[in-house]
Structure 1
Amino acid sequence: MRRLALTGLALAMTTALTACGGSGTTTAPATAAADPAKVSGDITVLTNRTDLVNDGTMKKYAAEFAKVYPGVRVTFEAITDYEGEVKIRMNTDNYGDVLLIPNAIAKGDYPKFFAPLGPAAELSRKYQFTGSGTVGDQVYGIVSFAAANGFVYNKDLWTKAGVTAWPKTPEEFLTGLKAVKDRTGAIPLYTNYKDGWPLTNWTNANGSVSCDPKADQALVTEDPWAAGKDLNVIDSLLFNAVHQRLTEKDPTTTNWEDSKKFLATGKIGAMWLGSWAIPQMRAAAATAGQSPDSIAFMPFPSQAGGSFCSVLNPDYQYAVNSHSTNKAAARAWLDWFVDRSGFSATNQGVSPVRSDPLPSALKPYSDAGVKLIELDTSRRVTVDNIDKESEVGLKSPDYRQKLIDVARGAAKGDLSGLLADLSARWKAGQQAAA
């Protein structure tokens, strides 16, 4: 299972949370005692990984944690509709001791709900991606891992279609998709339109096209859908793939769980996702009696200075509830899980711990010289405000679902009109947020 996309309802709930939530919170920092034997208490950890709770994986993590912190008892609460339920619970004090920060919570509101974990200057020496959780000079969330972005694809299928080299341009990629369709009969590219949230991952390619770490900052002043800009290239590729009938025939019937086995068995050619999806696809291949090695990863079809680039997008951040009465125990779990559990490597994500090696699934990226870049998100609060005022919804599937509908002829319009509308709305958002 994956994070749920930010919807219009989530935006509405963010407003409610800002008005109602966080009252009476404490600014006491979450620190763990130097001596693990002195840390005790019962804590509840909220998670979106219902699969890992149901199959006992999280209990195994807790058992390992207990060897270091025998006085702490960990209880997991797995939530299917994590975004929807947790943001409602955050109108109260009862949202666990350790939790994943919901996407709907504006970064500027972190101090209202979460205990500070330490100064950014100090924590950034040990951890990457701390900018995502930093407000002022304090860090409120530590990233679980960062996913590299790319197309998870069935390498055997693409080889059968005669495509063995990564496409370097959107045009080459579309040609490759057509070869997959014509020579194998498989669905070349799967959008996961119905589930919605996979469409939001296309926004995470912003920065990969231009190989620009400041691509997020540029959203504050520039037109993201102007000719040649990253989101223009990204959305044009998706539109053209659908328009050329290189995606599923009826996107309203897509299914995320089914898509994994379809890709694993060669019925789907590729899906735009994060590196976290690789182990899930490989597990699906093994279950279907196929070779897990057939599942591979390719970067967005664009190069800057002769190199492919892939933005590292931080996944959910771990935080400590500012209302927790066992902050030392909560912080002990957070630190252990990030530093010592190996969770990021298992999910083929880049660890937030600077000294950790890259995950094995990214070795082809490393061998090919793909540049992994981290975006400067220091103006993310402003970007979020612009996005809210514009009603575009960069974290929502809505506008790309509309793009797909227009591309497949289910709604009126064309690509140029769609991009012009997005540009106009974003400009209005920039003016309103100024």
Structure 2
Amino acid sequence: MRRGIAAAVAVTAFTISASACSSGSSSSDSSGPVTITWWDTSDATNEAGTFKDLVKEFEKANPDIKVKYVNVPFGDAQTKFQTAAGSKGAPDVLRADVGWIPGFAESGFLTPLEGTPAAKDKDQFEPNLIKQATYQDKLYGIPQVTDTLGLMYNKELFTKAGIDKAPGTWAELKSAMGKIKDKTGVDGFAFNPQGYYAMPFLFGEGTDMVDVGDKKITLNSPAAVKGIDTLQDLLKAPGARKLDTTSNAYANIMDAFSSGKVAAIIQGPWENANVFKGSAFKNKENLGIAPVPAGSAGQGAPLGGHNLVAYAGSDAAHQEASQKFIAFMTSADSQEKVANANGTLPTREDAYTVEVVRNPGIAGYQDLLSGGVPRLPLPEYSSLYTPLETQLIKIVSGQVGTKSGLDQAAAEAGRLLPDYSAS
């Protein structure tokens, strides 16, 4: 699944009473089954088939419920659901990015799931994942798949360069890059200049884009400047791949890594399956997965994934059917099947079976989940990636200085968060 993080930013939600909405795509009558609509935002080519198979299993086990399956491109789904929720046509169930929960809940589009059949196994899920499916102390989503960023690296290239372990700090990565380039001729590191991939550099200095507790924008704080300066220093060092700021940057970097033309990248488990198709990783054991390197204040990577949520505008019969469907799709058995077929990470411990962790990509990222940083419970949070990314590209390409660029990003963030003070 290629994550269109930059494209899938939040649009400021308009508030609407969800009780006044109705789902135009759902139907039922006293003589037939209830039909619910599910918008699946998974990759239509590599992942959707697994979910379609699970829908058939659910319908077989629940003959009184039919599921209308619709695959909606991830990059379009947030705005499309928001628009549909304000009129007729919203789906009963949506596969929502974790960052969408606060905004949709704030607008009244989602049904709280605490105490419903959908949340019957709540205690089986990773606590941090439940935390970011919760807004203002109400549970609005059930985690279906999860992810975090890690350092993917080519073990063979590292060994050829005389490096016997993954770098634990940005300074160690900088040193490793130069050795790899010198010993193998291959670029040591490539960076995708999207805002989401810059977050470990902020977390590594103990900061985030905002401080929710103090209602303060921290995008241009001294810690944030230090983090992005660290990134700048890394990209200017010997062994760094030439920066790609084209629209195909993501694909180009993944192709280079998978074919052995670059030794390390920052990436998430959604690319496991594609990496293993590459010539450099025919032997899956050649893929190294380690925590993103640490900054001066420690190490951290964003915790992501997708939750299944229920539309608040559906009637009681559809709510009940939706809750059963969500429980089925997030069960240990369903998550095990998804992990084995798609190579993605389950959200509950009992789904990490012997067969699932036999996949080195899954096993590697499972070890990183406990250190993931949950998304802040702020409706506008996902929108902040846009000003960060816009200025990040200018900074790393030398158009503006780090402080100047982050000051501009903070000013743009201030327009999204007028109640927040600047650093």
Give the TM-score range, shorter chain: 0.7 to 0.9
Q: CA deviation at 1:375?
A: 4.1
Residue matched to 2:29: none
Distance 1:56 1:106 in 2: 25
Distance 1:168 1:99 in 2: 38
1:373 partner amino acid: G
Q: Show CA shifts across 1:209-258 (max 9, x none).
A: 65x99x9756745845544x4x4454233322333471335432534345
Residue matched to 1:29: none
Q: CA deviation at 1:319?
A: 0.5
**Residues 237/425 of structure 1: CA separation in 2 closer, same or farther (3 Å cut):** same
**Residues 304/337 of structure 1: CA separation in 2 closer, same or farther (3 Å cut):** farther
- The alignment status of 1:118 with 2:111, answered yes or no, reads no
Q: SS at the partner of 1:324?
A: coil
Residue matched to 2:335: 342
Residue matched to 1:45: 38
Q: CA deviation at 1:422?
A: 5.1
- The alignment status of 1:415 with 2:413, answered yes or no, reads no
The answer on whether the counterparts of 1:223 and 1:427 sit within 8 Å (CA) in structure 2 is: no
Distance 1:319 1:270 in 2: 35
1:292 partner amino acid: K
Instruction: Tell me which of 15, 21, 24 is aligned to 2:20.
Output: 24
Residue matched to 2:72: 79
Instruction: Tell me which of 88, 91, 106 is aligned to 1:93.
Output: 88
Q: SS at the partner of 1:43?
A: strand
Q: SS at the partner of 1:433?
A: coil
> Aligned Cα RMSD in Å?
4.1
Residue matched to 1:172: 172
Distance 1:141 1:309 in 2: 28
Q: Show CA shifts across 1:35-68 (max 9, x none).
A: xxxx942222212224357873222222332343
The answer on whether the counterparts of 1:143 and 1:314 sit within 8 Å (CA) in structure 2 is: no
Give 1:289-328 correspondences, 5 Å limit: 290-302=282-294, 309-311=299-301, 313-325=303-315, 326-328=318-320
Residue matched to 1:62: 55
Identity of aligned residues (%): 18
Distance 1:148 1:10 in 2: 18
The answer on whether the counterparts of 1:309 and 1:372 sit within 8 Å (CA) in structure 2 is: no
Residue matched to 1:272: 266
Most deviating of 345-354 and 58-67: 345-354
The answer on whether the counterparts of 2:148 and 2:365 sit within 8 Å (CA) in structure 1 is: no
1:173 partner amino acid: L
Distance 1:108 1:432 in 2: 16
Distance 2:87 2:200 in 1: 32
The answer on whether the counterparts of 2:48 and 2:71 sit within 8 Å (CA) in structure 1 is: no
Q: SS at the partner of 1:352?
A: coil
Distance 2:323 2:115 in 1: 15
Distance 2:100 2:392 in 1: 26
Residue matched to 2:156: 156
**Residues 180/394 of structure 1: CA separation in 2 closer, same or farther (3 Å cut):** farther
**Residues 67/219 of structure 1: CA separation in 2 closer, same or farther (3 Å cut):** farther
Give 1:193-208 correspondences, 5 Å limit: 193=193, 196=194, 199-203=195-199, 207=203
The answer on whether the counterparts of 1:116 and 1:140 sit within 8 Å (CA) in structure 2 is: yes
Q: CA deviation at 1:192?
A: 3.6
Q: CA deviation at 1:171?
A: 1.6
For structure 1, which runs of at least 5 residues remain unmatched after alignment?
27-38
**Residues 269/85 of structure 1: CA separation in 2 closer, same or farther (3 Å cut):** farther
Residue matched to 1:373: 371
Q: CA deviation at 1:144?
A: 2.0
Give the total of aligned pairs: 395
Q: CA deviation at 1:173?
A: 1.0
Q: CA deviation at 1:335?
A: 1.0
Q: SS at the partner of 2:405?
A: helix
Residue matched to 2:388: 399
The answer on whether the counterparts of 2:275 and 2:281 sit within 8 Å (CA) in structure 1 is: no
1:433 partner amino acid: Y
**Residues 395/376 of structure 1: CA separation in 2 closer, same or farther (3 Å cut):** same
Q: TM-score, normalised by structure 1?
A: 0.74
Distance 2:197 2:295 in 1: 19
Q: TM-score, normalised by structure 2?
A: 0.75
Q: CA deviation at 1:317?
A: 1.8
Q: Show CA shifts across 1:318-349 (max 9, x none).
A: 10122234222222221111113126634555
1:201 partner amino acid: Y
Distance 1:298 1:327 in 2: 41
Distance 2:281 2:200 in 1: 32
Q: SS at the partner of 2:39?
A: strand
For structure 2, which runs of at least 5 residues remain unmatched after alignment?
23-31
**Residues 243/401 of structure 1: CA separation in 2 closer, same or farther (3 Å cut):** farther
Q: SS at the partner of 2:278?
A: helix
- The alignment status of 1:248 with 2:245, answered yes or no, reads no
The answer on whether the counterparts of 1:114 and 1:320 sit within 8 Å (CA) in structure 2 is: yes
Q: CA deviation at 1:149?
A: 2.1
1:242 partner amino acid: L
Q: SS at the partner of 2:2?
A: coil
Distance 1:225 1:327 in 2: 44
Q: CA deviation at 1:262?
A: 2.5
The answer on whether the counterparts of 2:42 and 2:48 sit within 8 Å (CA) in structure 1 is: no
**Residues 253/365 of structure 1: CA separation in 2 closer, same or farther (3 Å cut):** closer
